[in-house]
């Protein structure tokens, strides 16, 4: 199947949205994203639905459970099945959180990796192995985290840069996670965005969150994107150029028309800035 690469603004491919999407796909939606764990070995009507859409639109696979930073061996079977899914549907890009979610069993949350030199080498080796099995470069996502490691040897931005360099992989920049972490850990979100290597950014996420307290935000993907996060997206495009950007909404999902308004807002901001490739070539 022909490989289609994502561009513009996108939306998560959720089964509850399928009845509306089957009748009309709004012009603002340039691509869709799936969690491969939810679609591997999917047959029947849902499998046919996925095929119908992947024949017409680019898709991204965004992993949920690979646990790149975990102590257990990588799930090679999951990776092989993910590769088969991507090959069958012409999906070029796989992304995964830079975190871990398993330790002798699934932990049902994404936990932070200690920001140490040892962790850089450990995670980078697992990313390289992942790329070998998938037969593709992958992009790693900056994850939200809520407790700082007592053994950290560097800050989050330095850790991200080191892993990207050591693994020779790409970056999936989650703008909402930058904002969430900046509030919870009291750093300048713009400094983090500026510190990311432009040439490795291939994908971005936007999402909403929940304010647990004045100094604690939880990344829920269950609310509208707030103005400070929109401002950060604008700055990210200004600094790094426009990369394909997805609106994440996993809970409290409103009607499609409301989601599309946020997708359209992403597209309007994208129209103000040059493509990511142009910024790389100019630097």
Whether residue 4 lies inside any domain: the answer is no
Whether residue 91 lies inside any domain: the answer is yes
pLDDT in tens, 71-106: 889 999 999 999 999 999 999 999 999 976 644 444
The structure's pTM equals 0.93
Whether residue 105 lies inside any domain: the answer is yes
Give 21 or 283, the one with higher predicted confidence.
Answer: 21
Residue from 261, 181, 180 nearest 224 by CA: 261
Whether residue 18 lies inside any domain: the answer is yes
**Is 12:248 a contact under the CB 8 Å cutoff?**
yes
State the CATH number of the domain containing residue 215: 3.20.20.150
> At 198, which helix (H) or strand (E)?
none
Count up the domains in the chain and report the number: 1
Give the CB-side neighbour count of residue 202, counting CA atoms within 13 A: 19
Dihedral angle sign, alpha carbons of residues 24, 10, 91, 99: negative
- DSSP summary character for residue 196: S
Please give the share of the chain, as a percent, with pLDDT higher than 90.
72
pLDDT in tens, 109-146: 456 778 999 999 999 999 999 999 999 999 999 988 76
The parent domain of residue 139 ranges over: 9-282
Residues 6+ apart with CB under 8 A from 138: 93, 94, 95, 96, 127, 130, 131, 169, 170
55: β partners: none
**Is 240:201 a contact under the CB 8 Å cutoff?**
yes
Please give the share of the chain, as a percent, with pLDDT higher than 70.
88
Whether residue 1 lies inside any domain: the answer is no
99: β partners: none
Structure tokens at 14: 């959720």
């Amino acid at each position: 199947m022909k490989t289609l690469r994502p561009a513009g603004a996108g939306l998560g491919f959720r089964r509850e949205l399928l009845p509306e999407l089957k009748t009309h796909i709004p012009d603002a939606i340039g691509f869709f994203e799936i969690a491969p764990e939810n679609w591997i070995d999917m047959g029947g009507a849902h499998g046919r639905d996925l095929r119908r859409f992947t024949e017409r639109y680019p898709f991204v696979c965004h992993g949920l459970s690979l646990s790149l930073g975990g102590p257990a061996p990588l799930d090679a079977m999951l990776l092989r099945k993910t590769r088969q899914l991507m090959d069958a549907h012409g999906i070029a890009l796989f992304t995964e959180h830079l975190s871990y979610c398993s330790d002798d069993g699934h932990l049902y949350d994404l936990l932070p990796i200690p920001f140490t030199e040892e962790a850089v080498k450990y995670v980078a080796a697992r990313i390289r192995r992942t790329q070998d099995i998938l037969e593709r470069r992958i992009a790693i996502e900056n994850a939200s985290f809520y407790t700082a490691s007592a053994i950290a040897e560097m800050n989050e931005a330095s850790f991200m840069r080191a892993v990207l360099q050591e693994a020779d992989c790409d970056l999936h920049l989650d703008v909402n996670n930058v904002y969430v972490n900046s509030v919870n850990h009291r750093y300048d979100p713009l400094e983090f965005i500026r510190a990311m290597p432009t040439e490795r950014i291939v994908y971005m996420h936007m999402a909403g969150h929940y304010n647990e307290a004045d100094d604690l935000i939880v990344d829920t993907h269950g609310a509208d994107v707030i103005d400070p996060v929109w401002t950060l997206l604008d700055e990210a495009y200004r600094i790094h150029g426009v990369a394909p950007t997805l609106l994440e909404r996993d809970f409290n999902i409103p009607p499609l028309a409301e989601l599309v308004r946020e997708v359209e807002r992403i597209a309007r901001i994208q129209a103000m800035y040059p493509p990511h490739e142009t910024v790389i070539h100019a630097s």
